[in-house]
């Protein structure tokens, strides 16, 4: 805690004074470019990854970067998506999974979280990813399966995202773009789902078009 408080003191004395006008402007509202949906994992720092300034990213975090399909669960995730799309008019929604994800480990070995009822119940939203991995990863190592679970989970949650009425309407009406990413912690690399290549490829090799009537 001392380190955190020390960091806050540095923010107040060194960071805030240099960005005072920005914070005063942001005090009156926000206009983020993207909704960034990612895992609660402490190793994932969206602002650092994207080198984003305050006000640029609207962030939604939960265990396993899960997006329940519309109607499955009306909660914080659904409310955040709806607000970001209908009120903030974000131009992009980024769904970002990552390597060594605890939820993916739990999907692979559900017995390890059997004594965690809330976690076990939450893992049901990863059933599609687990079913796919069971089919395509037979004989592979646990590490490879966990990585593939992360990829398949991103694809599954992207499909769930499209079931939300606000998202479906915005994609058609104003070209809202949906992106599926995987962050490799060890290498500091993001791979993005490419529909054209039907696989995840390095993000820095992809040219993102300006929003228009396009979908993932």
Rounded Cα–Cα distance for residues 104 and 148 (Å)? 9
* Whole-angstrom distance, CA of residue 66 vs CA of residue 122: 9
Q: What phi, psi does 208 have (nearest 5°)?
A: -90, 120
In this structure, are residues 182 and 151 in contact, taking their beta carbons and an 8 Å threshold?
yes
Residues with catalytic function: 39, 41, 43, 98, 101
CA 117 to CA 36: how far, in whole Å? 27
* Contact criterion met (CB below 8 Å) for 99 and 187: no
Q: Go through 92-125 and write b for each residue having 16 or more CB atoms within 10 A of its CB, e for each that does not.
A: bbbbbbbbebbbbbbbbeeeebeeeeebeebbeb
How far is Cα 163 from Cα 157, in angstroms, rounded to an integer? 10
């Amino acid at each position: 805690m001392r380190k955190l408080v020390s960091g806050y003191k540095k923010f107040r004395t060194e960071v805030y004074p240099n960005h005072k006008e920005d914070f005063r402007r942001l005090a009156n509202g926000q206009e983020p470019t993207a909704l960034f949906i990612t895992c609660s994992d402490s190793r994932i720092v969206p602002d650092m990854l994207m080198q984003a300034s305050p006000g640029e990213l609207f962030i939604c975090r939960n265990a396993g970067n899960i997006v329940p399909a519309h109607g499955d669960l009306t909660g914080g995730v659904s409310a955040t998506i709806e607000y970001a799309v209908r009120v903030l008019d974000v131009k992009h929604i980024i769904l970002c999974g990552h390597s060594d994800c605890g939820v993916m480990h739990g999907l692979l070995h559900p017995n390890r979280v059997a004594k965690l009822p809330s976690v076990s119940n939450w893992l049901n939203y990863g059933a599609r990813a687990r079913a796919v991995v069971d089919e395509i990863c037979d004989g592979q190592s646990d590490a490879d399966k966990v990585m593939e679970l992360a990829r398949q989970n991103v694809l599954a949650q992207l499909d769930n995202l499209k079931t939300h009425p606000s998202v479906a309407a915005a994609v058609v009406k104003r070209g809202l773009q949906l992106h599926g990413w995987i962050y490799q912690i060890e290498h500091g690399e993001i791979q993005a789902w490419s529909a054209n290549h039907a696989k995840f490829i390095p993000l820095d090799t992809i040219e993102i078009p300006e929003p228009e009537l396009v979908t993932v």
